[in-house]
C-alpha cells in the first residue's frame, strides 16, 4: 500500500506492516518498531475544490504530528508512557506494542484479577502524574490510547490533541479552551471505572459542552474497588493527579488481603 510521507513522496508498506490508524495519523511497522506518521492524502488528481479541502486536512494532520513530537520531547522517558526510539521529519518511531489496547483486550479476554487491575490503574495514574508535572494536558484520555506491552504492563500513547504549557505555569489552574486538569481527571475516572468494572465505558466531556453529568447519570459505583476515587474524579474533588494517586494507593493498602 502507498501513503504520502511528510515531504510529499510515496511511503509504501504492505498490509502485514499496517498496525493501525486514527483520524489524523497512521502507524506502520518498521523493523521491530512502530512508525507514526501524519495521515496525508495524495491530492494531485483531485478537483480544485476537493484538493483545497484535502490539503487543509493534510496540513492539520501535519500540525498535530508536530505537536505530538513536541509532547514526547517534553515528557522524555517515564513509566507508563510508550518509549520513543527516534523523532524525525518523517514521524515518530516508537516501541512496537502489538498486544493491542485495553478496550480490545476487554472485549476478547477474561477479566483480570484485582491485583492485575490495580497494577494497570496505578501505572496509568503515575503516567498521568508525570504528564501533568511536565505541564501537559492530555485531552484524549481513552481506553484505546492505553496499549499493552509484552510484559503485560500498560503504556500511554497518542498526544496529538494535547496542549503543552510553559513550565512556569501552574498546571492546576491552566486552561486551554476549556481543557483543564479537572477535565483530564474526569476522563481518568472513566478509565479507572472501566478497568475495575471490566466494561468499556467512555463519557467525553467535550461531547457534553464540558458540562459534567450528574452522578445519577453516571454508572453506579456501589461496591466497586476504588469507588471513592472514581467519584472524586467525576465530581472534581481532586486538585491534581498526584492527589488521586495518593488516595488510590491508600485505598489499596487498606484493601483486605484475603480479597487480593
Which pLDDT score, from 0 to 100, does residue 255 have?
81
Which pLDDT score, from 0 to 100, does residue 1 have?
53
Which pLDDT score, from 0 to 100, does residue 216 have?
94
Which pLDDT score, from 0 to 100, does residue 7 have?
65
Question: Tens of pLDDT along 57-103?
Answer: 889 999 999 999 999 999 999 999 999 999 998 899 999 998 999 99
Q: Which fold has domain 102-259?
A: Transferase(Phosphotransferase); domain 1 (1.10.510)
Cell of 153: 504492563
Percent of the chain scoring above 70 in pLDDT:
94
- Cell 499493552, located at residue: 148
Which pLDDT score, from 0 to 100, does residue 256 have?
74
Question: Tens of pLDDT along 111-156?
Answer: 999 999 999 999 999 999 999 999 999 999 999 999 999 999 999 9
Buried b (16+ CB within 10 A) or exposed e, 121-156: bbbbbbbbbbbbebbbbbbbbbbbbbbbeeeeebbb
20 pLDDT band, cuts 50/70/90, is confident
pTM for this one?
0.91
CATH class, 2-95 region: alpha beta
Cell of 208: 457534553
Distance of CA 119 to the CA centre of its chain: 17
For CATH 3.30.200, list the domain ranges present in the chain: 2-95
Which pLDDT score, from 0 to 100, does residue 11 have?
72
pLDDT of 3 above 80 = no
When pLDDT is averaged across residues 29-38 and rounded to a whole number, the result is 92
Cell of 115: 491485583
pLDDT of 6 above 80 = no
For CATH 1.10.510.10, list the domain ranges present in the chain: 102-259
Which pLDDT score, from 0 to 100, does residue 244 have?
98
Which pLDDT score, from 0 to 100, does residue 12 have?
73
Amino acid at each position: 500500500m502507498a501513503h504520502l510521507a511528510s515531504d510529499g513522496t510515496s511511503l509504501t508498506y504492505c498490509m502485514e506492516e499496517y498496525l493501525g490508524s486514527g483520524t489524523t495519523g497512521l502507524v506502520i511497522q518498521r523493523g521491530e518498531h512502530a512508525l507514526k506518521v501524519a495521515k496525508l492524502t495524495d491530492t494531485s488528481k483531485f478537483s480544485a475544490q476537493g484538493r483545497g479541502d484535502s490539503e487543509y486536512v493534510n496540513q492539520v494532520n501535519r500540525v498535530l504530528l508536530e505537536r505530538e513530537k513536541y509532547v514526547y520531547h517534553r515528557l522524555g522517558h517515564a513509566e507508563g508512557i510508550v518509549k520513543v526510539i527516534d523523532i524525525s521529519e518523517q514521524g515518530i518511531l516508537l516501541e512496537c506494542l502489538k498486544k493491542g489496547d485495553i478496550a480490545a483486550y476487554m472485549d476478547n479476554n477474561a477479566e483480570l484479577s484485582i491485583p492485575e487491575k490495580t497494577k494497570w490503574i496505578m501505572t496509568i495514574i503515575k503516567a498521568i502524574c508525570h504528564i501533568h508535572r511536565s505541564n501537559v494536558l492530555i485531552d484524549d484520555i481513552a481506553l484505546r490510547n492505553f496499549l499493552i506491552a509484552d510484559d503485560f504492563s500498560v503504556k500511554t500513547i497518542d498526544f496529538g490533541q494535547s496542549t503543552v504549557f510553559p513550565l512556569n505555569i501552574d498546571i492546576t489552574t491552566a486552561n486551554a479552551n476549556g481543557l483543564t486538569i479537572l477535565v483530564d481527571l474526569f476522563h481518568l475516572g472513566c478509565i479507572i471505572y472501566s478497568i475495575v468494572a471490566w466494561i468499556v465505558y467512555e463519557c467525553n466531556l467535550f461531547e457534553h459542552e464540558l458540562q459534567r453529568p450528574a452522578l445519577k447519570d453516571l454508572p453506579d459505583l456501589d461496591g466497586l474497588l476504588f469507588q471513592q476515587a472514581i467519584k472524586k474524579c467525576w465530581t472534581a474533588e481532586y486538585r491534581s493527579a498526584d492527589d488521586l494517586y495518593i488516595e488510590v494507593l491508600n485505598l489499596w493498602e487498606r484493601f483486605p488481603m484475603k480479597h487480593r
